[in-house]
Structure 1
């Protein structure tokens, strides 16, 4: 049974002590538990030994070692010291990410494990939560456009390989010297905001994808796009990368926010255009030393679009 299914069967204790939990055993383990406390925090309680491990206390996630906890299991209450990894968020989306990310770790966990090993096994989850926190203001409309591009083009695996190497990168897709920047708009024209670097480079081939969106209650959601793309991807590490990016950009959003991001797929497909950055209106003059973060609106309505997509590797 998955951690998520076990968690949904747990009931909060009346006691609001943060280290008092109603628990169930983890799969194939008599020493480790999944629990929920009276504050609604979901936690994994590991029975650990030395050597000591690093601790973390970040937004929505904590890892502490040597914590005295009261656990109620099979109707019996006991006290013991644990390494406790807890999700402090009450948002279901973040709890789902927390538990689904731990499934593989829990599947093969040893009965006796050190604090150091726990940190090593969970540091990728810790880093994921750090990235989620950084991306809390990320534009979901733009993300829909990026997933739409992956879905509609044949070069899906290449695009995922190139997708968001870092959260603050200049381009949405970048691989070697090839860049693809996606601009999405809900208006009826192609006026997009660019940074200076997105349209000026001596060494990079830069393609702009202009996606026009029309909201629809029966449209395609972010989850629909992500799941459809996963069906078309064969390589496991690319599936995992796409899932991680999806979790980063949607993890801090409420279900209502995610439900609001639904657009008419056919309309976007019919109104999709690509442009070579050298053929769109832009500021060409190199800014003076000390001038930074230049942004401007470029009107692509009258710009020449790319007619032969096969000339560009990302667009094949």
Structure 2
């Protein structure tokens, strides 16, 4: 139930995945005490525990359930956002599980998690990068024993006055590794009090995974090994196709093999500006042979959904 003023018009929404009832008076019993509150109700349409858990997490992030006395207009806007994000569980994935895992790992390792989340650009074409308009960090993931990545020609371009780097991860599936959900919750633990960051994280993860969310729950990769193998490359050093491309050619995509390309040391990458200092790992975070993932805790959900 969500506190609301009951002002303005609102409509009931009955969908297979959830039901929303506009603000109405509800009698609430808490032990011997009874009260009447003006609330809206949002009910999950599934009995699947995994879906129910996701439902609650997205609702808390999208609806700001710590707020009280929302106007109906404010509530409608938030319900629209919730419906769009929660509905993504039935839509095709925008990213592979490995791709989203890698993106989350970069955010988790970043010096400034809030900056990394705020700069995470994503769209229906699955173009993934941390981008502040000039500086750009593309996250690329490959399987074990190779460092080959699919790129677009645009991935290697630089904005005027900016720089572009590639973060290259090599992932191994590992029985004792971390899932997308583990990384997701570790990031949530670091932005728990920042509603905007939490809302953005839920949108990016849910829209990225889409209907592949069940597959993501079963796949584990070693965060420690991924951090040990993480390399950064200056786009100027990455082999590629040269501009200009022939007239009539667009959306140029190719695979780059970086095994023979010299990486850019982390210390050097961090000198390229405040943006990179914020979204890249700290120098002190270099993992040793027994290093363990930081921040992998399970935060308790907070909010007023009852």
Answer yes or no: same fold by TM over 0.5. Answer: yes
The residue aligned with 1:286 is: 244
1:252 match: secondary structure: helix
| 1:244 counterpart residue number | 203
User: Cα offset for 1:98?
Assistant: 2.7
Aligned to 1:125: 82
RMSD: 3.7
Moved over 4 A (4+): 48-65, 83-92, 103-110, 113-118, 130-135
Q: TM-score, normalised by structure 2?
A: 0.68
User: Structure 1 residues 273 and 127, CA, compared in 2 at 3 Å: closer, same or farther?
Assistant: same
d(CA) in 1 for partners of 2:218, 2:98: 10
Normalised by the size of structure 1, how large is the TM-score? 0.66
Structure 2: state its 5+ residue gaps: 23-39, 283-306
1:212 pairs with 2:170: yes
Q: Which has the larger radius of gyration?
A: 1
Residue in 1 aligned with 2:229? 271
Runs of at least 5 residues in structure 1 that lack an aligned partner in the other structure: 1-25, 30-45, 66-82
- Distance, in Å, in 1 between the alignment partners of 2:222 and 2:164 is 27
Q: Deviations over 1:13-69 (max 9, x none)?
A: xxxxxxxxxxxxx48x9xxxxxxxxxxxxxxxx9x989544787888457688xxxx
CA 1:226 to 1:286, structure 2 compared with 1: closer, same or farther past 3 Å?
Answer: same
What residue is the counterpart of 1:15 in the other structure?
A: none
Q: Distance in 1 between matches of 2:73 and 2:90?
A: 25
Relative to its length, the structure with more strand (as a share) is 1
Counterpart in 2 of 1:157? 114
The CA deviation string for residues 211-269 of structure 1, in whole angstroms up to 9 with x for no partner, is 011111111222222222333347602233223323333453354x1233211222212
Deviations 1:103-158 (A, max 9, x none): 55667676xx9976653341120231355555535211111111111222323222
Moved more, 159-168 or 207-216: 159-168
> 225-234 or 265-274, which moves further after superposition?
225-234
Alpha-carbon distance in structure 2 between the residues aligned to 1:179 and 1:148 = 17
Partner residue of 1:253? Answer: 212
Query: Which segment drifts farther, 50-59 or 268-277?
Result: 50-59
Asked which structure has the greater RCO (Cα within 8 Å, sep 6+), the reply is: 2
Where 1:286 maps in the other structure, the secondary structure is: coil
Q: Which residue of 2 aligns with 1:223?
A: 181
2:270 match: 310
Matched residues, number: 256
Do the aligned partners of 1:93 and 1:254 also contact (CA within 8 Å) in 2? no
- Relative distance call for 1:223 and 1:49 in structure 2 (3 A) is closer
Q: Which residue of 1 is the match for residue 285 of structure 2?
A: none
Pick the aligned partner of 1:299 from 253, 257, 270: 257
Is structure 2 residue 52 aligned with structure 1 residue 95? yes
